[in-house]
Structure 1
């Protein structure tokens, strides 16, 4: 089973997303920074990437660009707490903080349906 990659410098966000998705049957890997996230993607291509818009040292948009080269076709979800309209062609979806975990689960299930039992 492929995994969901979460890249966010907020430990609580990583933990919440990981717990919510694992409870739903997904395998999840988290990265506290863009370097670790890209390293994990190089080791094994994820099925989906959720990445924070504002990461120290590199924007989430730039991370999605690099991930597209490393793992073509892997969809990306941009997570942001920024107010206003955020349009990012590299992202399949923009998820606004704070988000409801049931909305997160529904979004991930639509993008990466579970097949069989975990």
Structure 2
């Protein structure tokens, strides 16, 4: 049975690339470009892993953390990986407190990202 991924990023090109990459690796992939769209998908679908950007609206808002908190409360078995150009030890600490399993800097090479995804899903 294939595993379900939700990719959340305001950059449509990145959603497309990650979707193509992980679909080609045998995952079922949905994507969202905004927080409300991602929350809607989380309430109607079941995901093994959410890969989300930190900032989804082009502002300083950290919608990725809002999504992670929702995922942890609504679907605690779902793993959460945060990809962000704003990675820092302080952010990682706050993110882990909200249920994020892993924070990775952006950009992330696809083979490396695939390895992290595989490890997170194996640890479920």
Query: TM-score band, normalised by the shorter chain?
Result: 0.7 to 0.9
Is the contact between residue 52 and residue 79 of structure 1 (CA under 8 Å) also seen in structure 2? yes
TM-score (norm 2): 0.83
Q: Which runs of 5+ in 2 are unaligned?
A: none
Which has the bigger relative contact order, CA under 8 A and spacing at least 6? 1
Residue 108 of structure 2 is matched in structure 1 by: 99
Specify the SS of the correspondent of 1:55.
coil
TM-score (norm 1): 0.87
Task: Note the 1:29-108 alignment, pairs <5 A.
Answer: 29-56=30-57, 59-82=63-86, 84-85=88-89, 86-87=91-92, 88-89=95-96, 90-108=99-117
Deviations 1:11-50 (A, max 9, x none): 1111111111111110100001111111111111200001
How large is the RMSD of aligned CA atoms in angstroms?
1.6
| CA distance in 2: counterparts of 1:93 and 1:83, whole angstroms | 11
Is the contact between residue 34 and residue 58 of structure 1 (CA under 8 Å) also seen in structure 2? no
Deviations 1:60-101 (A, max 9, x none): 111110111221221100110115433121211112111100
More helix by share: 2
Number of aligned residue pairs: give it: 113
